[in-house]
Amino acid sequence: MNASTEKMTVGFIGLGIMGQSMAGHILAAGHDLCVYNRTRAKADDLVARGAVWKDSPGDVAAACDVVITIVGYPKDVEEVYLAPGGIVERARDGAILIDMTTSSPELAQRIAAAAADRGLAALDAPVSGGDVGARAGTLAIMVGGDAAAFDKAMPLFDAMGGKIVHMGAAGAGQHTKMANQIAIASTMLAVSESLSYAKAAGLDQTAVLDAIGTGAASSFLLNGLGPKMVAGDYAPGFFVHHFVKDMSIALAEAERMQIDLPGLTLARGLYQRLVDGGFGEDGTQALYRVYTQMTGA
């Protein structure tokens, strides 16, 4: 930690595939860290490195200047923040609350309002980059909420991310993440279809990826997940069931705004097939499973 960076007591709630690494970066940056996770064993490594375990989200909030959450679903976000004895009720005066879960823009606005009623600041700050970006500390972080709170939290964002952008008022971070997920959804369709076509044409799929991976079709998903599709490697960097959740939030927002998103609708339906087939814990590249079933490839 450099001399210009203020040491903070930071709470981190949610130590899954991404949260473990994100919390670790904050600890490595020299901040005091309190942690909570529903499965306590996931906190063991961080506790061994100096983090302090707390028995509930409310206990974390009562002990910290900043509280960061990255949990599963909007219902989990609502529970940890707004339930009796939760984060908003028990947070220290002047605390900054940062939800990094991909969640509902409307819920982000409600949390911000509840926090403001207590003299607190709440930011919605979902991330993109998956487990790879979380481990490397290069996540894209899109933030909505109070500008002054954003500035105060910037050293923490810097510890976890590479591209950090304040997008506007409460909910703006979540809306930006929805735009991100919409772009990913249709790109995953395109990569799966490209590889299915290549195989049906009798081409070496790896050679195809090598040939098109530096041209106009190049993308992180083509070059990063395309080889995993070819290899049948569906280990999760981001769970299918979480992606279905994200797409469902985006479609609900699109309906509210009265816009039609046919590509997203198709992608959500195909990913739902994976969940229904028992593959919800696979990574998002498992969409290729659906295409192999449809094409017999």
SS3 33: strand
- What's the CA angle centered on 267, arms 231 and 125, to 5 degrees? 95
Q: Encoding tokens for residue 273?
A: 């097939």
SS3 47: helix
Residues 9 and 167: their CA atoms lie apart, in Å, by 26
Q: Please list, residue by residue across 242-276, b when 16 or more beta carbons sit within 10 angstroms of its beta carbon and e when fewer do.
A: bbbbbbbbbbebbeeeeeebeebeebbebbbebbe
Residues 77 and 82: their CA atoms lie apart, in Å, by 8
Active site residue 177: yes
- What's the CA angle centered on 7, arms 35 and 134, to 5 degrees? 50
Catalytic residue among 177, 199, 228, 245: 177
Q: What residues have CB less than 8 Å from 109, skipping those under 6 apart?
A: 170, 171
Alpha helix stretches (DSSP H) within the chain: 19-28, 44-48, 57-63, 74-82, 87-90, 105-117, 130-136, 147-160, 172-200, 205-212, 220-231, 240-257, 262-276, 287-295
Which residues pair with residue 48 across a beta bridge? none
In eight-state DSSP terms, residue 283 is: B
Q: What residues have CB less than 8 Å from 222, skipping those under 6 apart?
A: 187, 191, 194, 209, 212, 213
The residues assigned a catalytic role are 177
